[in-house]
Amino acid sequence: MNGLIEYNVVSGIEDAAIYVGMSDNIHVAHNEVFASVAGIEIENSRHAVVENNMVYDNAGGILTFITPGLPIKTTFDVIIRNNFIVGNNHKNFGAPGSIVSGVPSGTGIIVMAADDVQIENNIIRDNKNAGIIVVDHGSFGNIPKDPESDPNPDRVSIYRNLFSNNGYEPIDDIKALMALNLTRKGPDVVTVGPGNGSCAVNKSSFKSLGLGSWPECKKTTSTDVASYLLDKPAEPRKIAAADAGEHLYRAVCAGCHAYSARMIGPPTQIIQAMYADNPQGIADYIAKPVKKREDFPPMPGQSHLSPEHRMAAAKYMLSVKN
Ligand code: HEC
């Protein structure tokens, strides 16, 4: 709650250079991010402004989406404005099987399953695949399902942006759409899959695919929102002892373990199968994790948690359903 990320320079990250997950009231401004798989990522988060950033030479520039299988099930109220989103054509070097590894190199902005997203006054150029992709879960590779998350992007507003030279070397899926639409111009903006209530300002001023039914926006700017940050810090939460396991899981474990998707760590579902009736086994492992998997980083030890808290988190991990 209430996070400010400003004036950072970040590069070379195998995931997102700036990663906001399961958070509310966020402001990401004046950062420079490059040579990473994703530049800036707003995931399962609400009320975020991403503005005045330099985002270049990543595989994907700015992403806002829902990862299924996390305790927070939605992403909405995201404003992406006044950013330079330029030449995000880096090779995607994301961990195989992770969601970001599915980001096609050359994409400026991806909105996946997020709602109420406003995109305004960005300079979006030289992204070889597409300037902006608006997509549902079903149309994106390797996304598991979560019955509690709506898979469609709704109410995405594309206001005035400056587009130039995007989509000059798109992926095959987009090439197929271009053929279907009898055009040879790769897109500034492309939308794939279902979604409701989206709109664009003057869509004939940029190259688009799939926006046929998008009307002109009624509201045409996001300037009514200066920031979603709260005036004062959020109240500290009081957590009943009986809820400790759930809170620890959500606050600590779910940062790396989603239910069925691969994130930093293996999916919770797989851990449930390994440790079915053995919460003590998990509690012991996390106190002093040993390296097990070649294709994952080591898990940081959790010995700062008391044995009771480790056990509570372990039991909760085994009980989570999605
Ligand atoms: C910073 C990321 C991160 C956090 C936070 C994290 N894990 Fe992990 N976890 C990992 C990674 C990475 C692995 C895979 C390690 C390996 O295979 O060497 C892993 C593996 C595991 C395993 C598998 C052990 C095995 O025998 O294969 C369990 C169980 C586990 N984590 C439980 C938890 C619990 C419970 C929490 C919260 C208290 C937690 N993890 C928090 C990253 C994390």
Q: Work out which ligand 1 atom sits closest to the CA atom of 297.
A: 12
Residue nearest to atom 35 of ligand 1 (CA): 314
pLDDT(37) > 80: yes
Give the residue whose CA is nearest to atom 3 of ligand 1. 256
Query: Mean pLDDT over residues 229-244, rounded?
Result: 88
What's the half-sphere exposure (Cβ side, CA atoms, 13 Å) at 221? 6
Question: Looking at the structure, do residues 154 and 65 belong to the same domain, yes or no?
Answer: yes
Q: What is the pTM of this model?
A: 0.89
Sheet (strand 208-209) strand order:
16-21, 38-43, 60-65, 107-112, 130-135, 189-192, 208-209
Q: What are the pocket residues of ligand 1 if the criterion is a CB atom closer than 6 Å to any ligand atom?
A: 248, 252-253, 255-257, 264-266, 271, 274-275, 282, 285-286, 291-293, 296-300, 302, 313-314, 317
Q: In this predicted structure, what is the pLDDT of residue 250?
A: 93
How far does residue 285's CA lie from ligand 1's centre (Å)? 8
When pLDDT is cut at 50, 70 and 90, the band that residue 29 belongs to is very high
Distance in angstroms (rounded) separating the CA atoms of residues 279 and 46 = 33
Same domain, 259 and 178: no
Domain of 267, CATH number, reads 1.10.760.10
- Residue 230 falls inside a structural domain: no
Ligand 1 centroid to Cα of residue 286, in Å, is 7
* Same domain (yes/no): 62, 192: yes
For residue 300, what is the DSSP state?
A: P
Is the domain of 184 the same as that of 262? Answer: no
- The answer to whether residue 219 is domain-embedded is no
Ligand 1 center to 299 CA (angstroms) = 5
Atom index in ligand 1 nearest the CA of residue 302 equals: 38
Phi then psi for residue 243, to 5 deg, are: -95, 5
| Element counts in the chain: helices (H) and strands (E) | 5, 20
State the total domains in the chain.
2
Counting residues of the chain whose pLDDT is more than 70, the rounded percentage is: 100
Residue nearest to atom 27 of ligand 1 (CA): 292
| Residue range(s) defining the domain that contains residue 283 | 241-319
* pLDDT score, position 234: 78
Q: Do 162 and 16 fall into the same domain?
A: yes
Mean pLDDT of 256-267: 93
pLDDT of the residue at 232: 86
Residues 247 and 188 in one domain: no
Residue 96 in this model has a pLDDT that exceeds 90: no
Last residue of a domain, which of 209, 231, 253?
209
Q: What is the mean pLDDT of residues 68-88?
A: 97
Q: What was the pLDDT predicted at 236?
A: 83
Residue 236 lies in a domain: no
Mutate to test the pocket of ligand 1, among 269, 272, 299 (most ligand atoms within 8 A of CB): 299
Among the candidates 191, 209, 227, a domain finishes at: 209
- Is residue 308's pLDDT more than 80? yes
Pairing of strands 24-29, 115-120: unpaired
> Do 288 and 174 fall within a single domain?
no
Residue 217 CA to ligand 1 centre (angstroms): 45
Q: Which residues pair with 110 in a beta bridge?
A: 63, 133
Asked whether residue 195 falls in the same domain as residue 275, the answer is no
Q: Span 193-214, mean pLDDT?
A: 96
Within this chain, do residues 202 and 257 fall inside the same structural domain, yes or no?
no
Query: Residue 50 domain-assigned?
Result: yes
**What is the structure's pLDDT at 98?**
84
pLDDT of residue 209 exceeding 90: yes
- Long-range contact set of residues 249-253: C-beta below 8 Å, sequence gap at least 24: 249/71, 249/313, 249/316, 249/317, 249/320, 250/22, 250/71, 252/302, 252/305, 252/313, 253/313, 253/317
Q: Which of 146-150, 197-201, 229-233, 284-288 has the lowest mean pLDDT?
A: 229-233
Q: Are residues 129 and 15 in the same domain?
A: yes
- The last residue of a domain, from among 186, 209, 232: 209
Q: Which amino acid is at 274?
A: M
Task: pLDDT band for 44, please (50, 70, 90 cuts).
Answer: very high
Average pLDDT for the chain: 95
> Is 171 part of a structural domain of the chain?
yes
Instruction: Write the pLDDT tens digit of every residue in 105-146.
Output: 999 999 999 999 999 999 999 999 999 999 999 998 778 889
Who has greater pLDDT, 225 or 241?
225
Please report which confidence band the pLDDT of residue 298 belongs to, taking 50, 70 and 90 as the band edges.
very high
Which protein residue's CA is at the shortest distance from atom 41 of ligand 1? 253
Q: Which of 121, 47, 56 is nearest to 78 (CA)?
A: 47
